[in-house]
Chains A and B, each alone.
Chain A
Amino acid sequence: MEEVQNEFSLVGIEDKSASENIVKPALSTWQSVWCRLRKNKLAVVSLIFLVLVMLYALISVPVVSQNSANDFNTNAGSKYKNLPPKSGLPIPGWDGKTTTPGSVDATDVYEKNGVDQNYLLGTDNLGRSVAKRVTVGLRISLFIAIVATAIDLLIGVSYGLVSGWLGGWVDTTMQRVIEVISAIPNLVVVTLLAMLFGSSIWSIILAIALTSWTGMARQVRNLTLTYKERDFVLAAKTLGESGPKIALKHLVPNMSGTIIVQIMMTIPAAIMFEAVLSAINLGVKAPTASLGTLITDGQNMLQYYPYQILIPSIVLVLVSLAFILLGDGLRDAFDPKMADE
């Protein structure tokens, strides 16, 4: 460099520090994520709703036990059977009145049967409180969905990362394995598992976990293939960073948007899948309630007691919708390039 005697001289602003200034306030990662999420009203409403639902599912554990939702009085079965929702207030449709099959006038079934208690959401055909059963059902459905998704996340993300990062014949083999797994219909897997372990929550969780991670694994692998050729990953390699560290520090954060959206889609899908399985008697066994079994049970009474299917269905739809909307909001919020004022 001896030849370079005179450097370029800068003509223009002399005050260098002024031109380097950034006016925007510095925020920590979570602060800025929250800032961006807050602007999405739907996502915030969904978040609040989901937090409330989860809190409700947790707090109700000591109050509404599994047994209290399942038990019914065998002697007074017909007295408590199929009572419509009654709020105790004169709200049409929520006042305990119903038109029994065959008659024209609406009658207060509670009065007729001599029930003193008010069932907020009515009772089912065995005289059990629908409110209690939905509470327990929601708890079980959420539990299944969240555990299955957690396993899905763990297997799917690590499988995808390993496959994409190593590449070559490892990648080829791992992708063929995925293809084999996704070629087997889910129902076959579930039926086999149910035969092996009996139909219980755990065989559903296992079935969802075994079959649904392939989507996540494929997406993560594709993104890994894209990102591993990026300059910032090469830079990390030249710095001597190890493979697993690069994966955690550089690859996963950059994929967080896709991963979160995938999770938020898997949760409602898992809830739905559980409902389907319960409907065909491969899922949660009676008398245990899940949103799926409640909907299946209510289906028989659809014509006469529509509330028995409507209530669990509305809960199912609202929870699923909230997860999807929140997932959408989170994906945008995790992208630091989105403006955050």
Chain B
Amino acid sequence: MQNPDAKKLVEIKDLNLTFNAGKSNATKAIDEISFDIYEGETFGLVGESGSGKTTIGRTILKLYDQDSGTITFDGQDLGQLKKQGMKDFRKQAQMIFQDPQASLNGRLRVEDIIGEGLDQVGYSKKRAEREAKVLELLKLVGLNKDHASRYPHEFSGGQKQRIGIARALAVQPKFIIADEPISALDVSVQAQVVNLLADLQKQNKLTYLFIAHDLAMVKYISDRIGVMHWGKLVELGTADEVYNHPLHPYTKSLLSAVPEPDPIVEKQRVIKPYDASFEKDGQERKMVEVEPGHFVLATPAEAEQYKAEQK
């Protein structure tokens, strides 16, 4: 599926992050995670609440500092970046936030919210150009020039999210982390935003890290999917492989919970409960490539078992 000589845009290696390390409430948010994101693809990251999806996104953007491991962006180790390098990186990687309400400063007008990014790329002195650019970005996300002088609270959820997208696009990034961009929106508006993201990807050759817990939506938008549980990446593969031939019991359980729009099928749907206790049995598990491009976190014995189950 994946073009083998596609360029790796983001490489994450043995990433670890513990919150409140050394205290009684220490939480291992990211546990030995490694994966790559190829240029131009959409990488979907799924998992339950608290599994560490958002933390990974924020760590890639250096909003959190990892304890160990490396993140390489476009061939550069982010840990080694100096001030100027960091500034350049900020222009290449952006984020779309989960809660459109909270992600916009209610005291700023839309013009200034979007303009904040433009100021970073040198528009701060050129007022007329800045204004024109803001209008261009607004148009790109389907808003018009009347909206520039408004405050965020005057917009609907979907409109706010599109303003957030316009803000991220202002610096012309290559890579966008979409942190559950649609989970706070109602279904009709979700489609609007997902379509917009897909269009923008085509137009601007963007790479996405799409974080969500709606598996159906992730399958629809992603090229590859990573499944997370308790800070660990348990399965990684192309969207079709993971969706149609899940290996890890957690993935199977997640998929069994997706509701079907057909009432007859829905009635027969059996939810497979997931017993996570075996994850804590002390055995060392590694990512094993069961099929080409399809990895699962397992001991050698479990890997054989998963492989057998597939056949």
Contact = CB atoms under 8 A, between A and B. Distances in A.
A and B pair up: yes
B172 to A, nearest CB: 12
Contacts of B153: 336-337
Interface hub of B58, B107, B159, B164 (most chain A Cβ within 10 A)? B107
A112 interface: no
A31 to B, nearest CB: 11
B116 interface: yes
Contacts of B239: 3
Interface string B169-190: 0110000000000000000100
B97 interface: yes
A338 to B, nearest CB: 10
Contact of B106 (A7, A24, A337): A337
A236 B220 CA distance: 30
Interface residues of A, number: 34
B191 A10 contact: yes
B204 interface: no
A29 to B, nearest CB: 8
Nearest to A28: B149
A56 interface: no
Interface string A231-265: 11011111111000000011001101000000000
Interface string A20-32: 1110101011000
Main secondary structure on A side of the interface with B: loop
Contacts of B195: 7-8
B86 A238 contact: no
B42 interface: yes
Interface stretch (B29-37, B71-79, B138-146, B290-298): B138-146
Interface in A1-51: 1, 3-4, 7-8, 10, 12, 16-17, 20-22, 24, 26, 28-29
B202 interface: yes
B269 interface: no
Contacts of B201: 1
Contacts of A232: 102-105
A204 B189 CA distance: 60
Interface in A241-292: 241, 249-250, 253-254, 256
Interface size class of B (residues with CB under 8 A): 35 or more
Contacts of A235: 95, 97, 103, 164, 167
A103 B159 CA distance: 81
Given A10-B192, A240-B87, A234 B95 contact: yes
Contacts of B105: 232, 236, 249-250, 253-254
A17 B103 CA distance: 24
Contacts of B90: 238-240
A231 B150 contact: no
B99 interface: yes
24 contacts: A1-B198, A3-B223, A3-B240, A8-B191, A10-B191, A20-B147, A20-B159, A22-B146, A22-B150, A22-B154, A232-B102, A234-B95, A235-B167, A238-B61, A238-B63, A240-B86, A249-B108, A249-B116, A250-B105, A253-B108, A254-B105, A336-B107, A336-B153, A337-B153
List the 6 closest A-B pairs by CB distance, nearest first: A240-B90, A231-B103, A253-B107, A8-B191, A26-B149, A232-B105
Interface of B: 41-42, 58, 61, 63, 86-87, 90-91, 93-95, 97-99, 102-109, 116-117, 120, 142-144, 146-147, 149-151, 153-155, 159, 164, 167, 170-171, 188, 191-192, 194-195, 198, 201-202, 220-221, 223, 239-240
Given A20-B142, A250-B107, 13 more contacts: A1-B221, A12-B188, A17-B144, A20-B159, A22-B146, A231-B97, A235-B97, A235-B164, A239-B120, A240-B120, A250-B108, A253-B105, A336-B106
